[in-house]
Amino acid sequence: MDRYSRQTLFAPIGEKGQRTLQKKHVLIIGVGTLGTLSSESLVRAGVGKVTIVDRDYVEWSNLQRQHLFTEQDATERLPKVIAAERRLTAINSEVEIVAHILDVTPVELEWLVDGVDLILDATDNFDIRMMMNDIAMKYNIPWIYGSCVGSYGVSYTIRRQQTPCLHCILGKIPIGGPTCDTAGIIQPAASQVVIHQTTEALKILTGNEAALRGTFISFDVWQNEMVSMKVDKMKKHDCPSCGEGATYPFLTFDEQTKSAVLCGRNAVQIRPPTLQERNLQRTASSLEKVSEKIELNPFLLSCTIGEERLVLFKDGRALIHGTNDTDYAKTLYHRYLS
């Protein structure tokens, strides 16, 4: 126990809490900025089993803020979960690390959550977050939401029956907000989100639920702002995700982002779960720093990024030209247009 001596000296955890921690299983979905930081923190703390899931590979732009990765990983375009697994095992060989290279859908979530004590959100889009929310509510697994962009971050701990779920709070998937690829991000903002997420995680995993924060926290590390909001009154007893007679809508096909290869066109169509009118001018402004060419008319927005051309229609549909890979097309959609 010498390895964890400083942690066991902390009275709320102690040796009993440490032994409890070593029997727990945490699922982390996403191994980017938040996922690398949180997985390293929990592995160093001695969580018994950590499962990491991500569909992407390491790129040079990741190295500015994503821990665990090296220049060699970016050169080899190593899958993120493989690079992370190697590093995490080197940090603490006592922890069982399970790595999955996956594009997460409700099908994968059904078996990924088997035996899991806690889910950590480290994703980059609300499509997957709402699926996570529904699967966590379905199987009564606590999960911790976290998100950041620019210098701004948010976090909230969700437990069925005790708190509103993400569906209660949001109502529907947000459309058209800034992303790290359009507005940038600084590493301290991500670190702050992870500090809140992993602290709450340790409380849950060691049986200290009474110490949970209980509020939705948001902050801007650049503007020196922080807000902690009570959201208990937002819980909806008829919420389809966590209320009485829940139907878990985001685990159904109707509520998922859909993709289809366009025959003979080297393009993929992406259709969001709900068609909504998009502000094309605002989207064009957000893409100015990353797109080589932007064309705009009253009906659609076309932008060129690298070797791909992305076309967004007013109803939220998009055509990703230059690829027939639906997973890659989804990545570009969530990265720039979601």
Instruction: Name the pTM for this structure.
Output: 0.85
Which has more confidence, 26 or 288? 26
Nearest one of 273, 247, 246 to 258, comparing CA atoms: 273
Q: For the chain, what is the largest distance between any 2 Cα atoms, rounded to a whole number of angstroms? A: 66
For residues 209 and 21, give the distance between their C-alpha atoms in angstroms, rounded to a whole number: 14
> For the chain, how many residues are written?
338
For residues 319 and 284, give the distance between their C-alpha atoms in angstroms, rounded to a whole number: 15
For residue range 256-287, list pLDDT tens digits in order.
788 888 777 788 888 887 777 888 998 888 89
For residue 107, what are the CA distances in angstroms to 102, 103, 110, 260? 11, 10, 6, 18
Amino acid at the residue 188: P
CA torsion 13→19→24→28, rounded to 10°? 60
- The CATH class given to the 257-337 domain equals alpha beta
The mean predicted confidence, pLDDT, of the chain is 92
Confidence band of 334 (pLDDT split at 50, 70, 90) = confident
For residues 221 and 105, give the distance between their C-alpha atoms in angstroms, rounded to a whole number: 33
**DSSP letter at 57?**
B
State the fold for domain 2-251.
Rossmann fold (3.40.50)
For residue range 114-154, list pLDDT tens digits in order.
999 999 999 988 888 999 999 999 999 999 999 999 999 99
Amino acid at the residue 144: I
For residue range 283-325, list pLDDT tens digits in order.
888 898 888 899 988 888 999 998 889 999 888 888 999 998 8
Q: Kind of pairing, strands 258-262 and 216-220? A: unpaired
Q: Which residue ranges make up each domain of the chain?
A: 2-251, 257-337
For residues 38 and 32, give the distance between their C-alpha atoms in angstroms, rounded to a whole number: 10
State mean pLDDT over 211-222.
Answer: 96
CB atoms within 10 A of CB 178: 13
Residues assigned a catalytic role: 180
CB atoms within 10 A of CB 64: 11
